């Protein structure tokens, strides 16, 4: 094993990015709110080892350039990797939809049946209903954005 480089440099670029982001999140506290046309669409609260992402209007994700052909398993693989990294850094990410918990990833995730689907202990589905609605909101936002382009 090559020990001449720092441990982080031996990781793939995606993992290095997630590790760096995790370290930044642990060191920052506060709240960021994103408004579009005087309407709150997203807020991020940073509270030590806890990050709360509250999605008020998922149509904001429709404006991002992304590959909408990414399949369910690729998305789960990415979420699994993120959850494992957050857990190893002692961080919990809670994703809310309009103030209601949908998912928890990382340290405080306590999955039950979701382990069968995700194959990890680092992702907890807090509400199947909210996850489903959030997914539908994102999909609808992408459709609206495509129509306006």
Task: Read off the pLDDT of residues 103-113 as tens digits, 9 standing for 90 and up.
Answer: 999 999 988 77
Q: Is the pLDDT of residue 101 over 60?
A: yes
Task: Read off the pLDDT of residues 62-75 as tens digits, 9 standing for 90 and up.
Answer: 655 555 555 555 66
Q: Is the pLDDT of residue 38 over 60?
A: yes
d(CA 123, CA 93): 10
Q: Is the pLDDT of residue 45 over 90?
A: yes
- Considering 1-10, 50-59, 73-82, the range whose residues carry the highest mean pLDDT is 50-59
Distances (CA, A) of 129 to 94, 102, 120, 126: 15, 8, 21, 9
At residue 54, the pLDDT reads 96
- Give me the torsion for CA of 113, 117, 121, 125, rounded to 10°: -60
Residue 141 near residue 58 (C-beta atoms within 8 A): yes
Q: Please state the domain extents for the chain.
A: 7-148
- Give me the torsion for CA of 127, 17, 23, 57, rounded to 10°: -40
Mean pLDDT of the chain: 80
pLDDT > 90: percent of the chain: 33
Taking residues 21-41, what's their average pLDDT? 89
């Amino acid at each position: 094993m090559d020990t001449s480089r720092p441990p982080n440099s031996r990781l793939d670029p995606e993992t290095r990015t997630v590790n760096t982001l995790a370290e930044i999140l642990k060191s920052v506290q506060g709240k960021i709110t994103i408004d579009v046309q005087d309407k709150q669409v997203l807020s991020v609260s940073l509270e030590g080892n806890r990050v709360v992402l509250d999605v008020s209007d998922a149509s904001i994700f429709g404006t991002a350039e992304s590959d909408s052909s990414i399949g369910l398993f690729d998305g789960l693989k990415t979420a699994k990797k993120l959850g494992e990294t957050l857990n190893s850094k002692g961080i919990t990410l809670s994703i809310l939809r309009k103030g209601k918990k949908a998912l928890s990833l990382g340290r405080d995730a306590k999955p039950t049946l979701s382990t069968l689907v995700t194959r990890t202990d680092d992702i907890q589905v807090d509400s199947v209903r909210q996850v489903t609605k959030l997914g539908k909101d994102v999909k609808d936002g992408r459709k609206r954005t495509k129509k306006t382009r």
